[in-house]
Amino acid sequence: MRPVCVIGLGLIGGSVLRAASAAGRQAWGATASTVDADAATVDGYRVESGVDTALQLARERDAIVVVAVPLPALDQTLSAIAVNAPECLLTDVVSVKAPVEMAVRQSAPRTRHIGGHPMAGTSASGWIAGSAGLFKDASWVLTVEDETDLDAWREVAQLVLDCGAQIVPATAAAHDDAVARISHLPHLMAAVLAAVGADGGMLSLALAAGSYTDGTRVAGTRPELVRAMCEGNRGPLLDAVDDALGRLGAARGALASTGSLGATVEAGHRAWQDHTEYRNSRRSQDRIDLSSPDARETLLGLGQRGGRIVGLDGDFALTG
Amino acid sequence: MRPVCVIGLGLIGGSVLRAASAAGRQAWGATASTVDADAATVDGYRVESGVDTALQLARERDAIVVVAVPLPALDQTLSAIAVNAPECLLTDVVSVKAPVEMAVRQSAPRTRHIGGHPMAGTSASGWIAGSAGLFKDASWVLTVEDETDLDAWREVAQLVLDCGAQIVPATAAAHDDAVARISHLPHLMAAVLAAVGADGGMLSLALAAGSYTDGTRVAGTRPELVRAMCEGNRGPLLDAVDDALGRLGAARGALASTGSLGATVEAGHRAWQDHTEYRNSRRSQDRIDLSSPDARETLLGLGQRGGRIVGLDGDFALTG
């Protein structure tokens, strides 16, 4: 098994380091945060003194490099990679994919890069919040583009499976559109809902029960994390916000003119049913031949249908 | 203890009948639903053959009448009250208060009516979904207006306390504004968010994790319940929707022009903190003299500050 070098040891990076180690891989990390570095060392993990040293070791041992730094620290990390491990097998866990793809092409063009995004997390952060089991049964996007090297893809896929997750193949653009709708917009709506509720004063807060508490839960996430995530996906998020403004405006118009919220409430309920059915559905078990010339298309078709890859068997990816 | 007559034996009415009985009160009910009537009878509760009979018994025994029917059935129930128990001590658990107040004045003007709204419930409905413990520690609004008879208020307050809830005093108008913000708007935002997510297709649903699931949970409520609740509070809900449209539109503008979501995300986080602090705060223990001429003002001031009444002691309401 290929060793793993994790740059950034917060919630996600720290959990990758733990999970890769638990899967029996040689693994080490580096981080600019002395708090995280100390905590990881105390927990018995190997933390190199600096990012450069960690990357030089990755080059020596032909490790997969996992970039788990916040988006604003990405460029600096990629520059370090270009110097210390310029041709490494590279993946990342940044929550937006097209901008990362572009940054890699610019700053570390000789790496074999596969973009990744584990759909797991908590509102807590830092090494201390992570665990080897964080990714258990979570969806983990791995990008597939026309030029994707499927040998590299398979190697990163094996690491993702070793972490306990299931792989959803998608283009970087499709990923960014989807997460704008189901992650970034929900954070923005939660912020708006929280503020409109609190504008009603203490009486409103005294009466707030399940619907407000559920609808505002992610407004408890640290603002700088929410901003980095949402602002980093500006174009797709603008589209999603426009859709939400359109639907909320239509509801307003209907309520004011006819007094009916039927269309809005029923569309929402149908969507909720779709999501619930999706979560309870059994997915078909197939094999995708990664050596076939149309493997990329087949992978992307699987992802578009909401399918996942749950295993690898030689040249074959197993769906389920 | 004054007997209790509950009209409507769904989730809330059925739970009031159970809780009042458990508190040692003589209690009976009536409902237009044969399913709920049969289920309550099987569970050992007294269900009269019709609403008229139940109300005649209430008149005989000077019971508190609790109206727990959906808003569309309110007028018919009030007409039955005007005929069979025209001067009864009356409360209701309908989720909107000003329209009920108005309907009572029109249809059953001689009753001593105190509006009520327990902030408890589940997405399930019917007798079968209820329980004697549903209201444990829940907020239960009781309306206070200039003309409120505080003797009647105290009697209804004792029933609410017997059900295990805590009383939040508010005017009907202030209640309706508050629930528009913290209950009706959250249901509408959940519907909008669910639909925008599902518009992204199966890939979006496959990637949906905590923020989408939390933010859309109440979109699973039966659409006719959500519509009845939201459409019945049209004016205040329009104001709350306008506030949400304004804030979401401002976020859109800021993201498009400056790329920053700072103002939106931070306002949402502060509001979340306010709500969390409110929930964790210890409330002051005071006594409000209900026989004092400024008792109504004192009660309303308490509610505006997010305070609750947790007990009664003779002429005094105990806050906490």
pLDDT tens track, chain A, 320 positions: 999 999 999 999 999 999 999 999 999 999 999 999 999 999 999 999 999 999 999 999 999 999 999 888 999 999 999 999 999 999 999 989 999 999 999 999 999 999 999 998 766 789 999 999 999 999 999 999 999 999 999 999 999 999 999 999 999 999 999 999 999 999 999 999 999 999 999 999 999 988 999 999 999 999 998 998 999 999 999 999 999 999 999 999 999 999 999 999 999 999 999 999 998 888 889 999 999 999 999 999 999 999 999 999 999 999 99
- Give dist(CA B115, CA B70) in Å, integer: 14
> Of chain B residues 9-28, which have a CB less than 8 A from chain A?
none
Cβ–Cβ below 8 Å for B139 and A209: yes
- Give dist(CA A261, CA B188) in Å, integer: 9
> Of chain A residues 105-164, which have a CB less than 8 A from chain B?
119-121, 138-139, 141
- Give dist(CA B260, CA A221) in Å, integer: 17
- Give dist(CA A39, CA A42) in Å, integer: 5
Strands B316-319 and B309-313: antiparallel
| Whether A177 contacts chain B with CB within 8 A | yes
Cβ–Cβ below 8 Å for B206 and A247: no
Domain A4-170+283-319 architecture: 3-Layer(aba) Sandwich (3.40)
Q: Where are the beta strands (DSSP E) in chain B?
A: 4-7, 27-30, 64-67, 89-92, 112-118, 139-143, 166-170, 287-289, 309-313, 316-319
| Whether A250 contacts chain B with CB within 8 A | no
Contact B85, B55 (CB under 8 A): yes
- Give dist(CA B280, CA B302) in Å, integer: 18
Can you give the residue ranges of every domain in chain B?
4-170+286-319, 176-280
Domain A176-280 architecture: Orthogonal Bundle (1.10)
Q: Hey, what are A25's tokens?
A: 């891989």
Task: Pick A196's closest partner by Cβ from B198, B240, B272.
Answer: B240
Task: Pick A272's closest partner by Cβ from B174, B202, B220.
Answer: B220
Q: Could you please report the per-residue DSSP string of B175-212? A: HHHHHIIIIIHHHHHHHHHHHHHHTTHHHHHHH--HHH
Cβ–Cβ below 8 Å for B252 and A245: yes
| Whether A103 contacts chain B with CB within 8 A | no
Enumerate the residues of chain A whose CB falls inside 8 A of the CB of residue B192. Answer: 189, 244, 247-248, 251, 264, 268
| Whether B259 contacts chain A with CB within 8 A | yes
A6 sits in which H/E element: strand A4-7
Contact A168, B206 (CB under 8 A): yes
Query: Sheet of B89-92: strands edge to edge?
Result: B27-30, B4-7, B64-67, B89-92, B112-118, B139-143, B166-170, B309-313, B316-319, B287-289
Q: Quickly tell me which residue has 């405006």 as its tokens.
A: A249
Strands B112-118 and B89-92: parallel
Task: Identify from B166, B179, B182 which residue to disrupt to test chain A contact, counting A C-beta atoms within 10 A and taking the largest count.
Answer: B182
Name which CATH class applies to B4-170+286-319: alpha beta
Tens digit of each residue's pLDDT, chain B (320 residues):
999 999 999 999 999 999 999 999 999 999 999 999 999 999 999 999 999 999 999 999 999 999 999 888 999 999 999 999 999 999 999 999 999 999 999 999 999 999 999 998 766 789 999 999 999 999 999 999 999 999 999 999 999 999 999 999 999 999 999 999 999 999 999 999 999 999 999 999 999 988 999 999 999 999 998 998 999 999 999 999 999 999 999 999 999 999 999 999 999 999 999 999 998 888 889 999 999 999 999 999 999 999 999 999 999 999 99
- Output the CA angle B71-B75-B81, nearest 5 degrees: 120
